[in-house]
Chains A and B, each alone.
Chain A
Amino acid sequence: MNDKPVIIFGILVFLAIFTFPFWHAKGNAGPVPEVQLPKDQKQCVASKEYMRTTHMQLLDGWRDSVVREGNRIYVASDGKRYNMSLQNECMKCHTDKAKFCDQCHNYLGVSPYCWDCHVAPKESK
């Protein structure tokens, strides 16, 4: 039995499909999203860099802390106290989910299910 051509053909098809997104996009990752930051607030619970990369772990820790341990106050490293609540605290400043959360999440193709339960502030239309 000589399956060589079949195998090579299979590998080629696989490579073509596998690399499809790259040549389809022509190496262009598209415009970088612009996140609308709160106008009246300068300070978040942690630095911008930290929040940008680690907010998911922070929120994940918060939800366990609130639900499971009953700790509801977050004392930031600068001593400021926050109510650990996505919908009652985070969204007080970041009032527009579409212009804040969704910007990056859409760009990265992630869809966290926070908003299946948590109620987003009414979006300004």
Chain B
Amino acid sequence: MMGVNRRDFLRIAGLTAAIGMGGKTAFDLLWPGQLDAAEGGVEGWWKSKTPENPLFPGDMAPGNEVPNPAELTAKRWGMALDMRKFTAATRAAVVKACNQVHNVPAIPGNQNIKWIWETSFEHAFPDLAQEYMDNEVHDLPFLVLCNHCDNPPCVRVCPTKATFRRADGIVMMDMHRCIGCRFCMAACPFGSRSFNFADPRKFFPDGKEPNPTYPTRTKGVVEKCTFCTERLAKGELPACVEVSGGAMLFGDMADSGSPVRQALRTRYAIRRKNELGTAPQVYYLI
């Protein structure tokens, strides 16, 4: 007879443990690969980097982690959308580029996922809409996305710091840490966050493979626009800005010479729900 292989052994061991006392393997058996709560550590532990391996002292030791020297950096990233320059084709290209680069699935129904999307003025700016508006502005579809607020309520409420504000102002998501409580979604006054109600991979049709250089998400975590941190790290502008044909500006709000600041000096700009004091860093040039 063939011997039982090790995996089977462990499986059976797990089952017996489940009957006997429960435990890690038993848990893993019922829900494979889900026992990950022990990752990380009490706050600050994640800074401890890779530990020295006591088994192999003096062995090829772990190295250092440093930023990419080619990275685009800023004191405070911000964005401006020049509403005069947008055409239907630009808007479509922008949304498509973002969705493709970030593997944003097209989920039908109201459990969908949106990073950047088109909406009307009265939905984007419910407090500014009025009956007798400039027809042109009123009928203009606006692109909305995460505002990367200076004072982000989502970061305030997150119980695990899975969403946090980087030193350069970008409000970032740590998909490895999110527990899926969706408190951030209740807190966001812009509806900029989406939850993975189901496994997003189910929604990539055959033949339309996800972008192999960017991860998808897994069910049960919240996601949103990240101002393309992964592209900034390589010295590239956000994907939407790149394909916008100059309709979207991106730059350092702390630098008076940055394209965003230059545009804001000469053009009238509005922000979404200014009165809430979250200080959005996405500006709309009217």
Give yes or no for direct A-B contact (beta carbon below 8 Å): yes
Hey, which chain B residues are within 8 Å of A25, CB to CB? 3-4, 8-9, 12
A62 to B40, CA, bound (A): 11
CB–CB B213/A61 < 8 A: no
Hey, which chain B residues are within 8 Å of A20, CB to CB? 12, 16
Chain A nearest CB, measured from B28 CB (Å): 7
CB–CB A74/B63 < 8 A: yes
CB–CB B212/A119 < 8 A: yes
CB–CB A64/B20 < 8 A: no
CB–CB A108/B9 < 8 A: no
Report A38-52 residues with CB < 8 Å from chain B CB.
45-47, 49-50
Hey, which chain A residues are within 8 Å of B176, CB to CB? 63-64, 67
Q: Is B210 an interface residue (CB 8 A)?
A: yes
CB–CB A108/B50 < 8 A: no
CB–CB B4/A30 < 8 A: yes
Q: Is B53 an interface residue (CB 8 A)?
A: yes
Do A72 and B233 contact each other (CB < 8 Å), given the known contacts A60-B39, A84-B65, A113-B33? yes
CB–CB B46/A110 < 8 A: no
A107 to B10, CA, bound (A): 9
CB–CB A50/B62 < 8 A: yes
Nearest to B174 among chain A residues (CB) is A67
* A20, A25, A62: residue with the most chain B Cβ atoms closer than 10 Å: A25
Residues of B in contact with A, size category: 35 or more
Q: Is A36 an interface residue (CB 8 A)?
A: no
CB–CB B10/A73 < 8 A: no
Hey, which chain B residues are within 8 Å of A18, CB to CB? 16, 20
Interface size on A, residues (CB 8 A): 56
Q: Is A58 an interface residue (CB 8 A)?
A: yes
Do A28 and B215 contact each other (CB < 8 Å), given the known contacts A72-B68, A108-B10, A109-B28? no
Q: Is B276 an interface residue (CB 8 A)?
A: no
CB–CB B63/A77 < 8 A: yes
The contact of A74 among B5, B11, B65, by CB within 8 Å, is B65
A77 to B65, CA, bound (A): 11
CB–CB A30/B3 < 8 A: yes
CB–CB A61/B49 < 8 A: yes
CB–CB B68/A17 < 8 A: no
A39 to B56, CA, bound (A): 25
Q: Is B208 an interface residue (CB 8 A)?
A: no
CB–CB A70/B229 < 8 A: yes
The contact of A108 among B6, B20, B61, B69, by CB within 8 Å, is B6
Nearest to A17 among chain B residues (CB) is B16
CB–CB A31/B7 < 8 A: no
Report A101-119 residues with CB < 8 Å from chain B CB.
106-113, 116-119
CB–CB A117/B9 < 8 A: no
Q: Is A78 an interface residue (CB 8 A)?
A: yes
Do A111 and B32 contact each other (CB < 8 Å), given the known contacts A21-B13, A31-B5, A77-B61? yes
A73 to B210, CA, bound (A): 24
Hey, which chain B residues are within 8 Å of A87, CB to CB? 212-213, 215
Do A109 and B7 contact each other (CB < 8 Å), given the known contacts A67-B174, A74-B63? yes
Q: Is B67 an interface residue (CB 8 A)?
A: yes
Name 14 extra pairs, CB < 8 A, besides A73-B69, A111-B28.
A21-B9, A21-B16, A24-B9, A24-B12, A25-B12, A29-B6, A50-B53, A57-B51, A61-B50, A65-B65, A68-B46, A75-B66, A110-B28, A121-B212
Q: What are 26 residue pairs bridging A and B, where the CB atoms are less than 8 Å apart in the complex? A: A17-B16, A20-B12, A21-B9, A21-B13, A25-B12, A30-B4, A30-B5, A46-B60, A46-B62, A47-B56, A49-B59, A50-B56, A53-B55, A60-B40, A64-B40, A71-B66, A73-B66, A107-B5, A107-B6, A108-B6, A108-B7, A109-B10, A110-B33, A113-B218, A117-B175, A119-B211
Closest 7 CB pairs of A and B: A30-B5, A109-B10, A111-B33, A47-B60, A28-B3, A116-B218, A71-B65
